[in-house]
Amino acid sequence: MDRYLREGEAAPGYTAVKNHIARILASTEGLTYAYVYQIQPDGCQVLFDIDTKDTPGAKPGEVEPFNEGFGKYKEALLAGAEVDPIITNDKYGRLLTVYMPVKDAAGKTVAYAGADIDMKQFVQDMRIFIIKMLAMAFGITMLMCALAIWYADRIFIRPINAIVAQTEAFNKVQPEHWLESREWQERQPVTTGDELEELYNTVSGVQENIAANVKEKLATEQKLKQTEEIKRQAAIIAVQNRKLEAAIKQADEASAAKSMFLSRMSHDMRTPMNGILGLAELSKDQEMSPEVRATFTKIDVAGQYLLSLINDTLDMSKIEAGKIELHPEPVLYGTFLQNLVDMLQVQLKERRLQFKYQLDKELAAAYVQVDKVRLQQIFTNLLSNAIKFTPVSGRIEFLTRVTERDAKIVKLEAVVRDTGMGMSEDFLQHGLFQTFTQEAGTARSEYQGTGLGMAITKNLVGMMHGTIAATSIQGKGSTFTVQLPLPLAAAAAVAALKQSRTVQAVTGKTLAGKRILLCEDQPLNVEITTRLLERQGLTVESVENGQLGVDKVAAANPGYYDLILMDVRMPVLDGLAATQKIRTLPRTDAAKIPIVAMTANAYEEDVQACYDAGMDDYVQKPVDVKLLYGVLHKYLG
């Protein structure tokens, strides 16, 4: 080695060794640089440095200064020790560097053979893998939603539609002709085997009785005009009225049964969503690359939107009656819109669509007071339709700008334009914003859907005091324009929002040392909730049913537990009954220990039932972590 340093390429054997290293470099896929250095205190002294296409190698004896990434390995290299592979990102690009000691006959390290591997392909492969996994997860979730919608349609909507259609037909036909009418002879039966079938049979029986009685009444009036017959007919009508009252009662009971079913479905669908969103939240504490962290952020955003879809699917009565409530909150518009666009990237890439996204700077920096879930639902419905109905390699544009602005309101115009299949003028005018409608035609047979999306979108835009308009040309594409007046968020609300993003809303110091009793029967929820609470310095004890919770409180000293988190649906003893028992325990803290419901039951009557049972507050699953910490701070801070 010393002779190589002194004489360079003139040294015997130098050229043969250099050519051998060059062959290794040329024949090894992914290998970018190959060289041999002696490590000196002031840098790396070159023995061999193979020329590459872009970078000529250094000459023997030249000294290369240490790269910043090698700083912590310098001492080990000077000592001749083996070192782990080193990742650097400098003027040569992102490289993985491997050093192997070159030893003499006595085992002493006299130099290091080095090889640099380009990391670009590795990073690209990882990105492709993550995208595939996300696409698979999204597809499974959409399949679950489709199955839920199909099940609800089969069990509830179709039978109810059949009952409504038969009732409307009955109103159009003279009662005395009803039993001979085509509508009665060809009526659609309901065979669900539950309260809806019973309701259908009752309504059909009432219609049959009314038709028969009316016919009989007319025949009787033609024959008998005496007062006794009139009284008898009055009595018959009274009987029919009682039957109608009974039918109405049965309809109310069926409606109550439907509400109970939807409540249970809400609980069962929210429970796994709580796991998905909880794990996404806990991932924020883990060390990970920026790409993986961005992926988890997108999972969280998509999960929140999926939760909103579950809410709409399970609350069809609110959608049909236009009773969805808006819950405005301060939102940084630019961040909100970027999260929305990121969520749709997988679909855009799968269909190889060109996507133009434009947001003016004034709007991006604005804090607006808006229900961001509903605003996201409006834009997602429009963009998802554009993606669905635009062929591969087509183009979609999403443009948002400010049209007017004053001290209180910013007027937004959002345009979604595609080069898809377009719509007919007739459907554009009469069917686009109607419920359960899609344009007929063989070209659209492959696209499935409920036909609710645009009706919901128009309803939400109207609730926000905005307008939506559409233009379309068949075979060339469609353009949707939404105009919304968005109130600007108050300065205090903006300051609070910024503080919540930069400072912990509830610090560990505030809650550290407090003891929580968690009553929850679902193991995954127990694990997620416990980790979320321990992240704030809380001590957590958990039980799997309400009776064990009552026993724990009864056996503990007064003041031992600072707060109880109580699930509502649990085996042995549910959360409502457990709360009532705790409140009646003969102990000084029974009436004042804070009890907070934490459950997937999502209806207003469920919330009221919690308060009626003696609970102090309510946190809905999937758990909003900021809301949970805020409630804990309210009672423990």
Q: Read off the CATH number of the domain in which 606 is found.
A: 3.40.50.2300
**Structure tokens of 356?**
């133009």
Of these ranges, 208-217, 231-240, 394-403, 624-633, the one predicted with the greatest mean pLDDT is 394-403
Residue 539 has pLDDT above 70, yes or no: yes
Q: Are 416 and 479 in contact (CB under 8 A)?
A: yes
Q: How many CB atoms lie within 10 A of CB 443?
A: 13
Mean pLDDT within 109-120: 87
Distance, CA of 25 to CA of 530 (rounded, Å):
53
For the stretch 520-536, pLDDT in tens is 998 888 998 898 899 88
pLDDT band at 445 (very low <50, low <70, confident <90, very high): very low
Residue bearing the bigger pLDDT, 373 or 579: 579
pLDDT at 166: 77
Tell me which H or E stretch contains 599.
strand 595-599
Q: Are residues 128 and 270 in the same domain?
A: yes
Q: Are residues 129 and 114 in the same domain?
A: no
Q: Are residues 131 and 279 in the same domain?
A: yes
Strands (E), 162-256: none
Candidates 587, 584, 575; CA nearest to 615 is 575
Q: Are 157 and 322 in contact (CB under 8 A)?
A: no
Q: With respect to residue 600, please indicate whether it lies within any of the assigned structural domains.
A: yes
pLDDT at 485: 94
Written in H, E and C, the secondary structure of 469-536 is: EEEEECCCEEEEEEEEEEEECCHHHHHHHHHHHHCCCCCHHHHCCCEEEEECCCHHHHHHHHHHHHCC
pLDDT at 556: 94
Residue 444 has pLDDT above 50, yes or no: no
Q: Are residues 260 and 393 in the same domain?
A: no
pLDDT at 296: 66
Distance, CA of 399 to CA of 411 (rounded, Å):
14
Residue 450 has pLDDT above 60, yes or no: no
Mean pLDDT within 338-359: 89
pLDDT at 274: 58
Q: With respect to residue 301, please indicate whether it lies within any of the assigned structural domains.
A: no
The conformation of residue 176, written as its DSSP 8-state character, comes to: G
Mean pLDDT within 380-393: 90
Distance, CA of 254 to CA of 163 (rounded, Å):
13
Mean pLDDT within 359-386: 89
Q: With respect to residue 306, please indicate whether it lies within any of the assigned structural domains.
A: no
- Helix crossing, 546-555 with 575-583: angle to 10°? 20
Query: Is the sign of the CA dihedral 593, 594, 600, 604 positive or negative?
Result: positive
- pTM for this entry: 0.42
Q: With respect to residue 18, please indicate whether it lies within any of the assigned structural domains.
A: yes
Answer with the one of 283, 315, 346 that is the final residue of a domain. Answer: 283
Helix (H, G, I), strand (E, B) or coil at 213: helix
Q: Are residues 330 and 463 in the same domain?
A: yes
Q: What is the mean pLDDT of the chain?
A: 82
Answer with the one of 217, 252, 283 that is the final residue of a domain. Answer: 283
From residue 467, give the alpha-carbon distance in Å to each of 153, 418, 463, 481, 484. Answer: 30, 20, 10, 8, 7
Residue 549 has pLDDT above 90, yes or no: yes
Of these ranges, 219-223, 240-244, 393-397, the one predicted with the greatest mean pLDDT is 393-397
pLDDT at 510: 67
Work out the angle at residue 573's Cα, subtended by the Cα atoms of residues 568 and 579, and round it to the nearest 5 degrees.
60
pLDDT at 326: 81
pLDDT band at 1 (very low <50, low <70, confident <90, very high): confident
Mean pLDDT within 244-268: 63
Of these ranges, 101-110, 127-136, 286-295, 508-517, the one predicted with the greatest mean pLDDT is 101-110
pLDDT at 470: 92
pLDDT at 504: 43
**Structure tokens of 132?**
């595939």
Distance, CA of 81 to CA of 9 (rounded, Å):
28
pLDDT band at 265 (very low <50, low <70, confident <90, very high): low
CATH classification of the domain holding 489:
3.30.565.10
Distance, CA of 267 to CA of 522 (rounded, Å):
12
| CA 483 and chain centroid, separation | 25
Q: With respect to residue 307, please indicate whether it lies within any of the assigned structural domains.
A: no
pLDDT band at 442 (very low <50, low <70, confident <90, very high): very low
Please write down the long-range contacts of 205-210, taking CB distance under 8 Å and 24 or more positions apart.
205/243, 206/240, 206/243, 206/244, 206/247, 207/166, 207/167, 207/170, 207/178, 208/178, 208/179, 209/240, 209/243, 210/175, 210/178, 210/240
**Region of poorest pLDDT, from 203-217, 274-288, 379-393:** 274-288
Q: Are residues 279 and 385 in the same domain?
A: no
Mean pLDDT within 97-126: 84
**Structure tokens of 227?**
């007062």
The conformation of residue 56, written as its DSSP 8-state character, comes to: P
Residue bearing the bigger pLDDT, 486 or 373: 486
Q: b/e for 535-554, b at 16 or more Cβ within 10 A?
A: bbebebebbbbbbbbbebbe
From residue 253, give the alpha-carbon distance in Å to each of 248, 249, 603. Answer: 9, 6, 18
Answer with the one of 252, 283, 314 that is the final residue of a domain. Answer: 283
- Per the structure, the count of domains in the chain is 4
Residue 301 has pLDDT above 90, yes or no: no
Nearby residues of 339 by Cβ (< 8 Å), 6 or more positions away: 297, 298, 301
The owner of tokens 């003139």 is: 10
For the stretch 88-103, pLDDT in tens is 777 677 788 898 999 9
CATH classification of the domain holding 101:
3.30.450.20
Residue 508 has pLDDT above 50, yes or no: no
Helix (H, G, I), strand (E, B) or coil at 160: helix
pLDDT at 324: 67
Q: With respect to residue 631, please indicate whether it lies within any of the assigned structural domains.
A: yes
Q: Are 518 and 530 in contact (CB under 8 A)?
A: yes
pLDDT at 507: 43
**Region of poorest pLDDT, from 310-314, 346-350, 489-493:** 310-314
**Region of poorest pLDDT, from 1-5, 304-308, 626-630:** 304-308
Q: How many CB atoms lie within 10 A of CB 165?
A: 13
Q: How many CB atoms lie within 10 A of CB 49?
A: 23
From residue 554, give the alpha-carbon distance in Å to each of 293, 452, 588, 614. Answer: 44, 51, 11, 17
Q: How many CB atoms lie within 10 A of CB 215?
A: 17
Q: Are residues 140 and 252 in the same domain?
A: yes
Distance, CA of 261 to CA of 255 (rounded, Å):
10
Residue 505 has pLDDT above 80, yes or no: no
Q: Are residues 471 and 397 in the same domain?
A: yes
The owner of tokens 């919304």 is: 484
Q: Are residues 144 and 113 in the same domain?
A: no
Candidates 542, 566, 570; CA nearest to 619 is 566
Backbone angles phi, psi at 179, to 5 degrees: -70, -20
Residue 178 has pLDDT above 90, yes or no: no
Q: Provide the residue count of the chain.
A: 637
**Structure tokens of 553?**
């409180």
**Structure tokens of 11?**
């040294």
Q: Residue 154 sits in which domain range? A: 124-283
pLDDT band at 506 (very low <50, low <70, confident <90, very high): very low
Candidates 116, 73, 70, 64; CA nearest to 95 is 116
**Region of poorest pLDDT, from 141-145, 163-167, 321-325:** 321-325
> What helix, strand, coil percent values describe the chain, rounded to 5?
55, 20, 25
Residue 173 has pLDDT above 90, yes or no: no
pLDDT at 330: 92
Residue bearing the bigger pLDDT, 70 or 441: 70
Residue 487 has pLDDT above 50, yes or no: yes
Q: Are residues 475 and 524 in the same domain?
A: no
Distance, CA of 86 to CA of 163 (rounded, Å):
72
Q: With respect to residue 290, please indicate whether it lies within any of the assigned structural domains.
A: no
Q: b/e for 463-495, b at 16 or more Cβ within 10 A?
A: ebebebebebebeebbbbbbbbbbebbeeeebe
Mean pLDDT within 232-251: 81
Q: With respect to residue 93, please indicate whether it lies within any of the assigned structural domains.
A: yes
Q: Are 608 and 270 in contact (CB under 8 A)?
A: no
Residue 292 has pLDDT above 60, yes or no: yes
**Residue percentage of the chain with pLDDT more than 70:** 82
Residue bearing the bigger pLDDT, 325 or 544: 544
Residue bearing the bigger pLDDT, 271 or 294: 294
Mean pLDDT within 239-265: 68
Q: How many CB atoms lie within 10 A of CB 227?
A: 8
Mean pLDDT within 450-470: 83
Q: Are residues 423 and 458 in the same domain?
A: yes
Q: Are residues 75 and 165 in the same domain?
A: no
pLDDT at 351: 86
